Amino acid sequence: MSQELLRISTAGSVDDGKSTLIGRLLYDSGGVYEDQLQAVRRVSRNGLDLALLTDGLRSEREQGITIDVAYRYFSTPRRKFIIADTPGHEQYTRNMATGASTASVALILIDARKGVLPQTVRHASIAWLLGIRQVVVVINKMDLVGFSEQTFFAIREAFQRVQSTLPDAQVYFAPVVATEGDNVTQRSERIGWFKGPSVLEYLETLPSEENIDAPFRMGIQYVIREDGHRGYAGQIASGVVKVGDTLLALPSRRVVRVASIPYYNKELLAAFAPSSVSLCLADHVDLGRGDILADSDHPPEVARAFRARIVWMSEKALALNCPYLFKHLSQTVYGEIEEIHSRLDVTTLTELPAHALEFNDIAMVKAKTYRPLFCDRYAHNRKTGSFIVIDPDTNQTVGAGMIDAILHQPATLPRATYGNGLTVWFTGLSSAGKSTLSREVYEQLISKGHRVELLDGDEVRKHLSHGLGFSKEDRNENVRRIGFVAELLTRHGVITLVSAISPYRNVREEIRERIANFLEVYVNAPLSVCEGRDVKGLYRKARSGSLPQFTGIDDPYEEPLSPEVECRTDLETIVDSVSRIVDAIESRLACGKVVNKNSVQTEERVIDVSL
């Protein structure tokens, strides 16, 4: 029962017999049931067409093609196999990249009569780009070339020329007749000159790479809290973790120790990739979703700007310098693609100049994120080097990225930091209650003896931002100026409360990224409630048309995706809201103090990773 799992991707077109080969693998390994066979016999044109076993949806059967990635399962006593089956033509890049992303072996089909075709090269190179280094080249339809050894070796030689452009690829060639089963699961007597194992025999012996030898990395997905228990839950991306290990937590850069690894009804002493675990730490730290735990001797890189290979998967072309969401491990951050360096021609494996990135293109780009990614190069780690790109307007997954190099930004002046500063950013609609709450919080903090400053959006517009209007650009400029001042104050140990509508998410994220210690408070009340309150009479003006571009009416408010505190001012009392905000501030300050108390070791680590 302790078989290993091996994930395989295949690609091929209608004619080269890929569906037949998969059908044959399923059939010969006993993965097809009698009633499924009968269903296929009923629709087979002549005899038993094994290709129909894997032919999925009605729409594609009508068109006689497969249109998407389908997953198939079969097993032998030694292995469980998952095959990601992808079509060879329509939208091939998107589908093949998807299928290859989780596979450790690529199965590439060649029709013996046709030899190496442009699409063969495409398949091989996309699999290689996605990180697959183990390739099985199935030279099919050998019966139609008279089982010719010469033909087999000619094709092998032709493929080896392609292989020379794919460093480290390890390739196995097998002459096959998928319709009859020669060399699929059983060795063929008809192809007596071939002495190697059958395709299945070979697949049974291939190692399934699981990233155990790479340094430890785990993105925190979820924090399990229960009566003083705090488990940091995630799936180990790479490496091994043991009780007692010292890990580096990012982005806080705290060095922490693993106290225990509870696993349902047992306690583990060690765990390795790709297990899903929950780690309890010996140190009192406050980590959350999106944070990363890593090998402290081999930390990941800190990337704000990087070069990446992107597979574009949307019919809408890439918009340069526009915000997209990047999901990496358990973190989702805003970022932009700033430049397209080149586009890859996957048929000739050459880089071409490019100015646009369109559907099914693969390009090398320069990207930046508003918050840093803690990552590795994809060549070193497929889990921590990959990300997806999401269009925030449509929520569609539009791209898949593989980090090729971290771009280090020019060194800046070392920034002095004094004491325990913090920016608390109140965002929300006009009349949601930002000023009320921020003033209350301000007074409470003062009375507790903290150093506090309050920057109110309306006040700032009278001097620092005097003359700015309400266009998107002007609004962003206003918010950036406030952010700049808040950053200065924070660095000098002041708790800085900012109260500003700050309607655009990406600018808030940009400021969060710039300020080391940042708390976002979403002051939330439904538009109808705010409009009912209309403290300054602005909604009335906006409705009457005398105040254009008013947030919530004819200008958007982009609500925070993961604010540290959210106050529903229509549902809770001012006292409740204020006390939750003050609690959040004080617990954040307490965390900061622990950092300062920590020994010099932590300081060194800080330098280590920020290089």
- In whole angstroms, how close is the CB of 50 to another protein at the nearest point? 14
Residue among 43 and 282 whose Cβ is closer to another protein: 43
Span 157-196, contacts to another protein by CB under 8 A = none
- In whole angstroms, how close is the CB of 164 to another protein at the nearest point? 28
Residue among 73 and 153 whose Cβ is closer to another protein: 73
Which candidate, 36, 132, 46, places its Cα nearest to that of 86? 132
Does 233 contact another protein by CB under 8 A? yes
Does 87 contact another protein by CB under 8 A? no
Active-site annotation, residues? 502
Span 42-61, contacts to another protein by CB under 8 A = 43, 54-59, 61
Figure out which of the listed residues 395, 412, 544, 610 binds another protein, where binding follows CB under 8 A. 395
* DSSP state at residue 285: -
Figure out which of the listed residues 21, 97, 124, 171 binds another protein, where binding follows CB under 8 A. 97
Contact call for residues 440 and 337 (beta carbons, < 8 A): no
Distance, in Å, from the CA atom of 233 to the CA atom of 230, rounded to the nearest integer, reads 9
Peptide bond preceding 118: is omega within 30 degrees of 0, i.e. cis?
Answer: no
Does 71 contact another protein by CB under 8 A? yes
Span 458-517, contacts to another protein by CB under 8 A = none
Selected range binding another protein among 258-266, 349-357, 451-459, 466-474, rule: CB under 8 A: 258-266
Strands 217-219 and 292-295: antiparallel
Span 319-378, contacts to another protein by CB under 8 A = 325, 327-328, 330
Figure out which of the listed residues 29, 163, 275, 549 binds another protein, where binding follows CB under 8 A. 275
Residue among 2 and 205 whose Cβ is closer to another protein: 2
Figure out which of the listed residues 9, 20, 76, 98 binds another protein, where binding follows CB under 8 A. 98
- In whole angstroms, how close is the CB of 9 to another protein at the nearest point? 12
Distance, in Å, from the CA atom of 216 to the CA atom of 259, rounded to the nearest integer, reads 16
Figure out which of the listed residues 163, 252, 397, 444 binds another protein, where binding follows CB under 8 A. 397
Does 307 contact another protein by CB under 8 A? no
Name the CA dihedral angle for 369, 371, 372, 374, rounded to a multiple of 10 degrees: -110
User: For residue 80, with 0-12 CB atoms within 10 Å meaning exposed, 13-18 middle and 19 or more buried, which class applies?
Assistant: middle
Detail the DSSP E strand segments found in 244-361: 246-250, 254-263, 266-268, 270-272, 276-281, 292-295, 301-312, 324-328, 331-345, 350-352
Helices (H), 492-573: 505-514, 527-533, 538-544
Does 529 contact another protein by CB under 8 A? no
Distance, in Å, from the CA atom of 245 to the CA atom of 506, rounded to the nearest integer, reads 37
Selected range binding another protein among 340-348, 393-401, 447-455, 536-544, rule: CB under 8 A: 393-401
Distance, in Å, from the CA atom of 520 to the CA atom of 560, rounded to the nearest integer, reads 8
Does 225 contact another protein by CB under 8 A? yes
Contact call for residues 232 and 220 (beta carbons, < 8 A): yes
SS3 1: coil
How many residues are recorded in the chain? 611
Residues in contact with another protein, counted by CB under 8 A, come to a total of 75
Figure out which of the listed residues 29, 44, 65, 80 binds another protein, where binding follows CB under 8 A. 80
Q: What amino acid occupies position 139?
A: I
Does 2 contact another protein by CB under 8 A? yes
Distance, in Å, from the CA atom of 332 to the CA atom of 161, rounded to the nearest integer, reads 41
Does 226 contact another protein by CB under 8 A? yes
Residue among 84 and 530 whose Cβ is closer to another protein: 84
- In whole angstroms, how close is the CB of 35 to another protein at the nearest point? 4
Distance, in Å, from the CA atom of 206 to the CA atom of 213, rounded to the nearest integer, reads 17
Does 382 contact another protein by CB under 8 A? yes
Does 117 contact another protein by CB under 8 A? no
Q: Binding mask 127-146 vs another protein (x if CB under 8 A, - otherwise)?
A: --------------------
**For 539-551, what is the HEC assignment?**
HHHHHHCCCCCCE
Span 194-213, contacts to another protein by CB under 8 A = 208, 210, 212-213
Q: Which two tokens stand for residue 559?
A: 């609500």
The C-alpha angle with vertex 407 and arms to 405 and 408, in degrees rounded to 5, equals 135
Contact call for residues 45 and 87 (beta carbons, < 8 A): no
Residue among 99 and 428 whose Cβ is closer to another protein: 99
Distances (CA, A) of 187 to 108, 109, 213, 320: 19, 18, 35, 53
Reading phi first (left if > 0) and then psi (alpha if -120 to 50, else beta), residue 129 is in: alpha
Contact call for residues 312 and 354 (beta carbons, < 8 A): no
Selected range binding another protein among 66-74, 181-189, 461-469, 482-490, rule: CB under 8 A: 66-74
Figure out which of the listed residues 73, 186, 338, 347 binds another protein, where binding follows CB under 8 A. 73
Selected range binding another protein among 95-103, 345-353, 458-466, 470-478, rule: CB under 8 A: 95-103
Does 387 contact another protein by CB under 8 A? yes
Which candidate, 96, 479, 587, 47, places its Cα nearest to that of 313? 96
Distances (CA, A) of 220 to 250, 280, 294, 329: 10, 12, 11, 8
Span 277-306, contacts to another protein by CB under 8 A = 278, 289
Span 17-36, contacts to another protein by CB under 8 A = 33-36
Does 446 contact another protein by CB under 8 A? no
Figure out which of the listed residues 400, 495, 515, 521 binds another protein, where binding follows CB under 8 A. 400
Does 235 contact another protein by CB under 8 A? yes
